[in-house]
Amino acid sequence: MKKNRKLKIALIGNPNTGKTSLFNKLTGLHKKIGNYPGITVHRVSGHFTLDDGTEIELIDLPGTYSLHPTSKDEELVLKELLRNREGIDGILMVADVNNLKRNLILLHEIQDLGFPVMLAINMCDEMKKKGIKIDVDKLRELLQIPVILVSAKKSKADGQHQGKGRIHQMKEMIADMFKAPSRKYFETYGLTGTSIDFIKPDYPDVPIYKLWLLYTEQDKFGKEIKEQYPKIYELPFDRSTLKRLLQKEVIKRYRDINRILKDTYRIDKTEATGLTERIDRILLHKVWGILIFLFIMFLVFQAIFTWASIPMDWIDQFFSQTNAYLKTHLPNNQLTDLLTDGILSGIAGVLIFVPQITLLFLFIALLEEMGYMSRIVFLMDRLMQPFGLSGKSVVPLLSGTACAVPAIMSARTIENDKERLISMLVTPFITCSARLPVYTIIIALVIPSKDVAGFINLQGLVLLALYLLGFAAALMSAFVLSKMIKSKYKRYFILEMPEYKAPIAKNVLITVWDHVKAFVFGAGKIIVAFSIILWFLATHGPAGFDNPSFDKPFQLSSSEQAAYKLEHSYLGKMGKTIEPVIKPLGYDWKIGIALLTSFAAREVFVSTLSTIYSVGNTDDEQLLRERMANEKSQITGTYTFTLAVGISLLLFYAFAMQCFSTLATLRNETKTWKWPVIVFFYMTGLAYLSAFVAYQLMS
């Protein structure tokens, strides 16, 4: 091993092996986070120093089961290792003591690539509970690599350097991986045939297993790799023969692994003391398991609604008071208006989501750390799969009842790129809390408050129907998208059930911080930009906008003047321009302005109508309902808000993408405007069509 220089070591392992915990123990706070180019998968790296002064950069690669990828995350790991673009010097492989046989498949493949490797078998503190015994010295001898038993949760280690103290033992053993090449297996399998063997002389320094992966997974690579290894892509490619050979590779690897584990790994169930199996009999029950899960999610969302409301009110109050103070002490000009109503309002529109995002990811991280998230996936996958979704899709869908912004971000936990994308695209259909003010005032206006069957309130029944309609639209849209979006990965449902364990506070806090920071600095800048644009359109207008020419303008109240200015602003002009388009839905230009302003947030629909109808206090919902109920159309002379118009509006807001914060988050998560634009037009078109049909049938 070369001393006094910086070495790069990749941290690799199956999902749910405690890789993140071990990474945090080794690197502490010395890490940086970014995204791999073109995708939303996080790229995390950190560093630490060995006793001899060698600085180690540790690169945490996504969890993967094999170097034959079945998802975007696994493809990324394959490309990083085969391109070796990062100049990786060695591999630190993390395995779960409870699933060692499966984990060693990946270790075998990495050894065949010729990397120096060290194996860290994690969760050794659970060995006694599971009745597991491992002969570490024998395992190290057979694998011909350094092997250590660790507990990232408790910072314990066991192995060659006992008595050195916690995670420090592991750092000492890292130097051992570079002393001798590790064992190779693939060369003895005889699978490559004469074709790969024929071109091997053209690449004398390339391990034959690397050539095999480049050949078998050639549809995963672009022009760069194909130009570097042109001989490989001149070979005949028969997929059926290849599939048979890949199956043989797995069989031969398991044969070798069974031989290694025969004398080194033993499970004696009679000595097991754990409660996991007994707990799972309840939590994984096909009926009770789902009911318990729904109850847990109910508690989570109740907590998000109640706990988040307090800091959200603080944030709202702080910015309201700050705006009022600045307007009082700064000159009354457009620059002040831009600062207060444009920039600060935009920043407030970003930070107002932080409490909900923080709480949601706090609960998700806790469930993940405790081992319950894998149970959720197992329970829900069978229900979600017919719609093209994953078991993990239930988290963003249910989270959408609070807010689509953190819900879309929570889809990052879904490994399969197609299922992750579909989950994000359909989540905006779920009725979020921002829709409730719109639903409340429209339902109270057009739906009578009476009981059905003697005990069911009709207004509450309509509200429930809107929630169910949102879920139905999400599932049906997911089904359609699953048929339209193509994926080069075949879906395999591979899931390991980790042991239940107490969450590590540091891991939970780091996860929450990473997601909150990603939203604030990613989607936040787009939200602020849209807020400034909307402010400009609502506060500026054509020539004469600042000097109204109507009779006795100064006799009007401030609320009436605000209504006049909004009507004659660029936004008001846009509302009148789209009136012919929205007229078939039963809407006039006033509703049109409210539709446009509600792109800032759906609940702005109510405050905009308060301004238009000159309701001085925008919180006076009773007065607003009275003004809306008495409003008559200037064209027909009939009441504007009839039952037909009310149902049309409810359906429109049930389906329409009326929130640019959601669009900004979609853009940030997909790294392209393509999908947000598609979702916007799809949802708006569906909203228009349903509102049109409802109004025409009921009017």
Q: Characterise 536 by phi-psi region: left (phi > 0), alpha (psi -120 to 50), beta (else).
A: alpha
Whether 687 has a pLDDT exceeding 80, the answer reads yes
Whether 557 has a pLDDT exceeding 70, the answer reads no
Sorting pLDDT into bands at 50, 70 and 90, what band is 629? Answer: confident
Interior angle at CA 660, CA 533 and CA 575, nearest 5: 60
1-273 falls under which CATH superfamily?
P-loop containing nucleotide triphosphate hydrolases (3.40.50.300)
pLDDT at 92: 92
pTM over 0.75: no
Domain spans in the chain, listed from the N-terminal domain onward: 1-273, 275-699
**What is the pLDDT averaged over residues 303-314?**
77
**Short-list 71, 70, 73, 109, CA closest to 91:** 109
Q: What share of the chain in percent tops pLDDT 90? A: 12
Which one is predicted more confidently, 556 or 521? 521
**What is the pLDDT averaged over residues 546-570?**
63
pLDDT at 675: 92
> Rounded to 10 degrees, what is the CA torsion of 185, 230, 67, 420?
-170
pLDDT digit string, tens, across residues 459-472: 778 887 888 899 99
**What is the pLDDT averaged over residues 144-164?**
65
Interior angle at CA 424, CA 422 and CA 427, nearest 5: 105
Greatest mean pLDDT among 437-441, 496-500, 529-533, 590-594: 590-594
For 13, residues 6+ apart whose C-beta sits below 8 A from its C-beta are 19, 63, 64, 93, 94, 95, 96, 103, 106
- Helices 417-426, 674-698: inter-axial angle, 10-degree rounding: 40
pLDDT at 637: 67
Per DSSP, 400 falls in state T
pLDDT at 685: 94
Whether 194 has a pLDDT exceeding 60, the answer reads no
Sorting pLDDT into bands at 50, 70 and 90, what band is 573? Answer: confident
pLDDT digit string, tens, across residues 393-424: 887 887 787 678 878 887 877 777 788 899 99
Is the CB of residue 9 less than 8 Å from the CB of residue 178? no
* Paired sense of beta strands 90-96 and 117-122, if any: parallel
pLDDT at 36: 40
pLDDT at 162: 42
Greatest mean pLDDT among 118-122, 338-342, 631-635: 118-122
pLDDT at 159: 44
Which one is predicted more confidently, 255 or 510? 255
pLDDT at 295: 82
pLDDT digit string, tens, across residues 429-456: 988 777 877 887 788 888 887 776 666 7
pLDDT at 160: 43
